[in-house]
Chain A
Amino acid sequence: MAYSEKVIDHYENPRNVGSMDKNDPNVATGMVGAPACGDVMKLQLKISAEGIIEDAKFKTYGCGSAIASSSLVTEWVKGKSIDEAAEIKNTAIAEELALPPVKIHCSILAEDAIKAAIADYRTKKA
């Protein structure tokens, strides 16, 4: 199976790899995993008082498509409000990266990571 150019680009030059302090009240952490392939994805968002995502970092252990999906998501969410970020659909990620059907679950994982991070933020702010 051949990876698309966009997947290879994100895989070879992943954007925003790293970690933030998960105890920082303005940092939201989303952790998701896929038992079928053992992939583990961590997405962290730095959110301003106005609810705008100022920065995003990710760390993913998994296949090229999982890494590319999370890398792409960090680019997409920056500057968005949390409500806008929550609207990002896996289909858009899969389409942008031209993921083959067997790799669609990697884009679902990335969408779930955004949702998990937002849920973490809401818990922190509750």
Chain B
Amino acid sequence: MNYFQLFGLEDQFDLDTTKLAEVYQSLQKTVHPDRFAHASSQEQLLAVQKSSMINDAYQTLKKPLTRATYIITLRGTEMPNEQASFGDTAFLMHQMELREMLAEIRDSDDIEAAIFNAAQTLDEEYQQLFNVMQAQINENTPETNLLASDNLRKLKFYQKLQIELDRLEETLLDD
């Protein structure tokens, strides 16, 4: 049973996260330890395992990028190793520029504005790439699934940039 089936959902990328959260709550109730207080130790163990699977499924489906990874893998698209190097030169050159943009915030005259602008740039570029990936996943052909997996790897670089920006904001605007 895959995570979508576990939640009684269609195997598709676009989903209602409110509904997902509701199903999660009701599924967790069915395996709550209180219900198994008088059950055999084997039944208790099974309930704990089921609960942990429901939790893994929820965590995976809740966030768009892990959901994308899951659905692409489910379709049998070969995902490159997480640790494998990425060699799209033009994309990486641009990533370098974005990193430099973040590095320059520290010396900016108006740090708050610089952070705001950087956040906006990152957000726009992430969203644009995300929309492309989403359309590719929804098209669901072997070719578009491969393209989506490539864009998914690119989106992870943006996720990292976002973390860097958050960290920068914390250090620079703390006082």
Interface residues of A (CB under 8 A from B): 29, 31-38, 40, 42, 59, 61, 105, 108-109, 112, 116, 120
Contact = CB atoms under 8 A, between A and B. Distances in A.
Given A108-B83, A116-B87, A32 B159 contact: no
B85 A108 contact: yes
A35 B96 contact: no
A42 B96 contact: yes
A109 B161 CA distance: 19
Interface of B: 82-83, 85-89, 91-93, 95-96, 99, 153-154, 156-157, 159-161, 163-164
Contacts, number: 58
B156 A36 contact: yes
A40 B99 contact: yes
A120 B87 CA distance: 11
A37 B156 CA distance: 8
Nearest to B82: A36
A73 to B, nearest CB: 14
A45 B75 CA distance: 42
Contact of A32 (B85, B154, B160): B85
A38 B85 CA distance: 10
A31 B82 contact: no
Nearest to A31: B92
Contact of B87 (A61, A105, A112): A112
Contacts of B99: 40, 61
Contacts of A116: 87, 89
B92 A35 contact: no
Contact of B89 (A31, A35, A59, A108): A31
Nearest to A33: B86
Q: Which 7 residue pairs are nearest across A and B when measured between Cβ atoms?
A: A38-B160, A112-B85, A31-B92, A36-B82, A35-B153, A105-B83, A61-B99
